Amino acid sequence: MHEAEEKEFIRQLLDPASQQAAFRRLVSEYSRPLYRHIRHLVIDHDDTDDILQNTFVKVFRHLPTFKGESRLYTWMYRIATNEAISFLKQKSKRYKVNSEELQTRLVENLKADAYFEGDELQARLQKAVATLPEKQQLVFRMKYYQELKYEEISEILGTSVGALKASYHHAVKKIEEYFNED
Amino acid sequence: MAGIKLDNHPKIEDGFSTPENYFNEVENRVMQRIQEPATRVIPIYRRTIVWAAAAVIVIALGIFSVWNLKQTPETDNVENYLASVEFTQEELIALLDDNDIEQLTADLKLDPQEIENVLVETPYLEQYILN
């Protein structure tokens, strides 16, 4: 969406007369990419479903406070990321494990997950990614799986492009070592 | 699976799937949820009743502390305690200073025969004299 187009869209989102239709369009356009983003963080479909809905509700409630300092989708991605990370922190606390151990546990159950249709290689890559430190995992998933540009990831995470490139490079090296251990 | 180079390897997809018609359904569910009134969450530190309860507890503790400090043992209790405990002569003498002894001497009218009896009966008398 171009900047001018986005400005008009935001106006429609804030106008009570056009809000419902505009918001439905927003949900329709962004539910797939946001679902994917959240699912890469929390792995499980049902948890992703909850967080996705909560994200959109939060977006709706906070629309009047959106100042347009970033793009709309960047702002929504940030909300989705924070919701997912909060959820994972609560889950870590509940199971009394750290974030890396939790990720490993979540991925261990993937093969039995009704909403995972990946083959052996895909499952193995998920396990390899789950062994990475939290931030590296996030960067890898956004770059490799979601194919976001470094500039987009930088806007969402508030990390410099240089740091992201380094993080991704290290993540790839570790994953390749993981496969070479076989 | 050894020897994978991710940059050269065809893209390995995530393998995630969703229930049939999921995205249409989630759209409807979200639109339904945004019609519901928001539940107002008041942080605990903003609740007046919490501050009021905290203030009552602090005041109660303060009153208790002041009341506790003002409690002094009543004289009767002290005397009863002293009467119930057996003190040795040495312990009593240790508690007396020069003024107390002068006062005792003035108040005490001793019979010479009594003095002689005490001198004979008290063992290790020289210890008291030397100390």
Would you call A115 and B18 a contact, using CB atoms and an 8 Å cutoff? yes
pLDDT band (50, 70, 90) for residue B129: low
Q: Is the pTM of this model over 0.90?
A: no
Alpha-carbon gap: A180 to the closest alpha carbon of chain B (Å): 4
Which pLDDT belongs to residue B93? 62
State mean pLDDT over A145-150.
Answer: 96
* Percent of chain A scoring above 90 in pLDDT: 74
Which pLDDT belongs to residue B114? 65
Using CB atoms, pick whichever of B6, B14, B18 lies closest to residue A175.
B6
Which pLDDT belongs to residue A85? 93
Per-residue pLDDT at A174 exceeds 60:
yes
Which pLDDT belongs to residue A182? 59
Domain A1-96: give its CATH code.
1.10.1740.10
Per-residue pLDDT at B98 exceeds 70:
no
| A70-118 pLDDT per residue, tens | 889 999 999 999 999 999 999 988 888 888 888 888 888 887 889 999 9
| B54-73 pLDDT per residue, tens | 787 888 887 877 777 665 55
Which pLDDT belongs to residue A2? 76
Domain A98-182: give its CATH code.
1.10.10.10
Domain-wise residue ranges, chain A: 1-96, 98-182
Would you call A118 and B13 a contact, using CB atoms and an 8 Å cutoff? yes
Alpha-carbon gap: A36 to the closest alpha carbon of chain B (Å): 9
Which residue of A lies nearest to B31 if distances are taken between CA atoms?
A24
Task: Report helix, strand or coil for A116.
Answer: strand
Which pLDDT belongs to residue A100? 80
B20 touches chain A (CB under 8 A): no
As a whole number of angstroms, the distance between CA A75 and CA A46 comes to 23
Burial class (CB in 10 A: 0-12, 13-18, 19+), A74: middle
B40 touches chain A (CB under 8 A): no
As a whole number of angstroms, the distance between CA B114 and CA B117 comes to 5
